[in-house]
């Protein structure tokens, strides 16, 4: 398979793989157990040894906070009011994140697989674990070739670590096959941004939201996934803004919006094509901007001509009058802001969806100025920085392309190696699993990535991992994926290391170390360098710490689109972060961006290394690109056998695969297990009542969960959150169809059948705290 299509959507249901068993042995030893505040953490009179200014370890907003530290333990959180993005505010996850530190489930040593042990693992000396890993890499690459060993990295790692992972793969292992879990998050947004603007970054700081007359929030459950962004939207409303929400569910932000568009999952391109057609029909266009700063408008205008309000309504399931109102509000506004997230990106045509939203932004001309802009809401902690500096399968530092000879030559010169020794571009994360299943990839190293929970059709993923000759996982908790590993190495929490991350606005911020690693746990970058040393390939991988890595990254990114060369740790501290691009030298004719770097992209008169003064956008002529976006339906649509649409997403108290949040007691108490959201009309047809056990079955697997009967979802759609593993995993159902450009999977729509069910055996998977 080439990764762009999954033909199983049009085929009969395949024989089901065995249901993931509830392995009580590994859960009893490694959890997840619930951690609650106790001892120093509930002593109101305790005086901390220090307050450490840093940022949240969860989503891409990277809210500033202060960690209270006593006796090498984080005992609580204090607001950091001065940090401008969140001004002291935190969501429930941020408030309770400290409970993951000093957790009873924390991995304190290396482990090796041992079927005779009650948990399936036995302790191993750290040095022996490193030796085992190095021996396996050396053997697999000797016998099967360099590309037979692959790496899966993480977008929650600091930028220094992501840079190191790319260098480790491309210079030390010289394997083409490295990718990261941002493949499941931001890649459609990034690809669309590059095709339209030539650069992948939010165009505006969030402060610009406050000056907008109309704000469109498309496929973004901001109140649960990016709660602090909700405050920006509400502040904008206080100033008179109208908020339009596009979503198949009435999410919390939709309950307070001015106009709700309940789009049928997978039909977003049709909706935005229809809005653009109404803008053209009513001449709600900025003709001067289109003429002076864009190319390709005529082709797009011709394509959207067929998207009349009637046809748009028929395809999207939205009332025609609602579509007309949205187009009028957007088209006639003087200032506007468009935000989107995974709801329009997690599709086999996600890039098309993204480009269709950008087309209405460009047609309005409202970008690159205060109060008017466009941004994608970053999902993971370092979702922005993690996709800039070399851990993507086709990428080198600075946003450079691994397949570009000029880019290869520059980075090779920084690394002191021949460009010919750099591998060619490799394959995406899911294709790595396909190659493992086919026996082409024989070994795998995974760090802070939980694909057994987070990849679609994860019964196939489990089967692929079981076929590997050798698998090593680096993590701080025993994730569902680490349970398949031959060796598990104990890595570090964010608060046990330092470095930088780049948050949702493009602002580079500092992560400060608050506590030491416990037991034999190591900072992740030390583990990677220890493996390189054990291989005898440590040249270029002998950094003394993150600052050294960052200083080399600055050089490696210089002149690239993602230019960090002018950024220093000190400059970040002095300015509450620095926005890239931030050059070490100001080219002739380029304005000085100031101490905070480039806060807002695409402003008139701005300079970039591609256009070089010809215009604000990152193409040689300085002009943005309109892109035709023909409507393509989902890879798997409903039929008589599977008549209901499944869509998936997040809840406020859990995060991604749940490897961290399912261990934090107060967050688990808020949402202890997933439920099936179902509309009363559909529930009545199926004889399902609130709280009933309900089976949701696709062509790939099934889950049985309790029902939540709610009026906040379309009657033709059900919703299941994806934070749980094993028998509760929503990704047993999802389809592995991928966008042909971004390779992002289609999490947001597949066909299922729903029925009332009996209680499943052993459905409880979260244990009480260890004593």
pLDDT one-digit tens code per residue, 332-381: 999 999 999 999 999 999 999 999 999 999 999 999 999 999 999 998 99
pLDDT band at 769 (very low <50, low <70, confident <90, very high): low
3-state helix, strand, coil in the chain (%, to 5): 35, 20, 45
pLDDT band at 15 (very low <50, low <70, confident <90, very high): very low
Integer Cα distance of 266 and 270 in angstroms: 9
At 760 the pLDDT is 86
Residues 6+ apart with CB under 8 A from 404: none
The alpha carbon dihedral of 381, 383, 386, 389 has a sign of: negative
Q: Is the pLDDT of residue 770 over 90?
A: no
At 764 the pLDDT is 53
pLDDT band at 768 (very low <50, low <70, confident <90, very high): low
Residues 6+ apart with CB under 8 A from 122: 111, 112, 114
Integer Cα distance of 707 and 675 in angstroms: 6
Beta strand 717-721 pairing with 693-697: unpaired
Q: What letter does residue 189 receive in the DSSP assignment?
A: H
Residue identified by tokens 């394959």 is 427
Integer Cα distance of 188 and 624 in angstroms: 18
* H/E stretch holding 121: strand 121-124
Tens-digit pLDDT profile for residues 142-180: 999 999 999 999 999 999 999 999 999 999 999 999 999
CB-facing half-sphere around the CA of 66: CA atoms within 13 A: 15
pLDDT band at 7 (very low <50, low <70, confident <90, very high): very low
Q: Is the pLDDT of residue 2 over 70?
A: no
Q: Is 242 helix (H, G, I), strand (E, B) or coil?
A: strand
Phi/psi at 76 (5° precision): 170, -175
At 17 the pLDDT is 46
pTM for this predicted structure: 0.95
Residue identified by tokens 């209270």 is 68
pLDDT band at 4 (very low <50, low <70, confident <90, very high): very low
Q: Report percent pLDDT > 90 for the chain.
A: 92
Integer Cα distance of 118 and 715 in angstroms: 46
Q: Is 635 helix (H, G, I), strand (E, B) or coil?
A: coil
Comparing 41 with 50, the larger pLDDT belongs to 50
Tens-digit pLDDT profile for residues 386-417: 999 999 999 999 999 999 999 999 999 999 99
pLDDT band at 214 (very low <50, low <70, confident <90, very high): very high
Residue 87 burial (10 A CB sphere; 0-12, 13-18, 19+): middle
Tens-digit pLDDT profile for residues 188-200: 999 999 999 999 9
Q: Is 122 helix (H, G, I), strand (E, B) or coil?
A: strand
Q: Is 725 helix (H, G, I), strand (E, B) or coil?
A: coil
CB-facing half-sphere around the CA of 87: CA atoms within 13 A: 7
The residue-averaged pLDDT of 25-41 equals: 91
Integer Cα distance of 606 and 609 in angstroms: 11
Residue identified by tokens 């052993």 is 762
Residue identified by tokens 């973004």 is 220
């Amino acid at each position: 398979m080439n990764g762009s299509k999954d033909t199983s959507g049009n085929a009969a249901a395949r024989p089901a793989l065995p249901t993931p068993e509830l392995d009580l042995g590994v859960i009893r030893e490694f959890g997840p157990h619930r951690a609650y505040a106790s001892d120093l953490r509930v002593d109101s009179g305790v005086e901390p040894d220090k307050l450490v200014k840093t940022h949240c370890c969860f989503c891409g907003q990277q809210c500033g906070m202060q960690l209270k530290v006593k006796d090498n333990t984080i005992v609580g959180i204090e607001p950091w009011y001065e940090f401008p993005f969140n001004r002291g505010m935190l969501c429930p996850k941020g408030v309770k994140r400290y409970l993951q530190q000093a957790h009873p489930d924390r991995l304190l040593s290396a482990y090796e697989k041992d079927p005779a042990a009650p948990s399936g693992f036995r302790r191993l000396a750290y040095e022996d674990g490193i030796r085992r890993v190095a021996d396996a890499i050396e053997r697999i690459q000797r016998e099967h070739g360099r590309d037979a060993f692959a790496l899966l990295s993480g977008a929650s790692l600091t930028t220094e670590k992501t840079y190191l992972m790319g260098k480790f793969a491309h210079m030390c292992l010289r394997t083409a096959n490295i990718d990261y879990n941002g493949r499941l998050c931001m890649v459609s947004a990034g690809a669309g941004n590059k095709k339209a603007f030539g650069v992948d970054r939010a165009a505006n700081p969030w402060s610009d939201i406050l000056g907008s007359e109309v704000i469109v929030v498309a496929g973004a459950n901001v109140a649960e996934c990016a709660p602090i962004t909700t405050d920006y939207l509400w502040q904008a409303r206080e100033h008179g803004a109208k908020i339009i929400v596009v979503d198949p569910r009435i999410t919390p932000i939709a309950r307070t919006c001015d106009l709700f568009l309940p789009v049928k999952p997978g039909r977003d391109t049709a909706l935005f094509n229809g809005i653009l057609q109404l803008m053209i029909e009513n001449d709600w266009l900025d003709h001067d901007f289109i003429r002076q700063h864009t190319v390709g408008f005529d082709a797009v205008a011709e394509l959207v001509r067929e998207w009349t309000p009637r046809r748009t309504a028929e395809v999207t399931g939205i009332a025609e009058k609602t579509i007309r109102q949205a187009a009028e509000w957007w088209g006639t506004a003087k200032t506007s802001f468009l935000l989107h997230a995974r709801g329009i990106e997690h599709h086999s045509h996600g890039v098309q969806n993204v480009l269709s939203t950008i087309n209405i932004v460009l047609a309005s001309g409202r970008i690159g100025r205060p109060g008017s802009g466009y941004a994608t809401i970053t999902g993971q902690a370092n979702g922005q920085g993690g996709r800039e500096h070399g851990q993507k399968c086709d990428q080198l530092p600075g946003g450079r392309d691994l397949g570009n000879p000029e880019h290869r030559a520059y980075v090779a010169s920084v690394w002191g190696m021949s460009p010919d020794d750099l591998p060619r571009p490799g394959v995406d994360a899911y294709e790595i699993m396909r190659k493992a299943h086919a026996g082409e990839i024989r070994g795998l190293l995974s760090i802070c990535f939980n694909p057994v929970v987070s990849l679609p059709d994860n019964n196939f993923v489990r089967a692929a991992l079981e076929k590997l000759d050798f698998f090593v996982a680096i993590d701080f908790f025993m994730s569902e994926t680490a349970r398949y590993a031959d060796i598990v190495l104990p890595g570090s929490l964010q608060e046990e290391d330092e470095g930088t991350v780049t948050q949702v606005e493009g602002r580079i911020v500092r992560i400060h170390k608050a506590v030491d690693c416990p037991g034999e746990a190591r900072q992740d970058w030390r583990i990677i360098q220890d493996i390189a040393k054990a291989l005898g390939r440590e040249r270029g991988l002998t950094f003394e710490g993150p600052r050294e890595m960052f200083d080399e990254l600055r050089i490696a990114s210089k002149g690239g689109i993602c230019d960090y060369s002018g950024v220093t740790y000190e400059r970040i501290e002095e300015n509450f972060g620095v926005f890239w691009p931030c050059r070490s030298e100001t080219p002739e004719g380029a304005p000085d961006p100031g101490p905070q770097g480039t806060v807002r992209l695409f402003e008139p008169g701005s300079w970039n290394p591609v256009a070089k003064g010809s215009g604000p956008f990152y193409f040689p002529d300085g002009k943005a690109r309109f892109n035709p976006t023909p409507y393509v339906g989902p890879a798997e649509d409903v039929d008589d056998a599977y008549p209901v649409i499944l869509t998936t997403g997040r809840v406020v108290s859990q995060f991604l695969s749940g490897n961290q949040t399912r261990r934090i007691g107060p967050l688990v108490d808020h949402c202890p297990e997933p439920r099936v959201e179902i509309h009363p009309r559909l529930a009545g047809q199926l004889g399902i009542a609130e709280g009933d056990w309900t089976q949701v079955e696709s062509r790939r697997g099934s889950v049985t969960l309790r029902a939540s009967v709610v009026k906040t979802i379309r009657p033709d759609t059900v919703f299941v959150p994806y934070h749980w593993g094993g028998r509760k995993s929503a990704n047993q159902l999802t389809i592995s169809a991928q966008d042909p450009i971004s390779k992002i999977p289609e999490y947001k729509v597949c066909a299922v059948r729903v029925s009332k069910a009996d209680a499943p055996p052993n459905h409880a998977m979260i244990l009480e705290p260890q004593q």
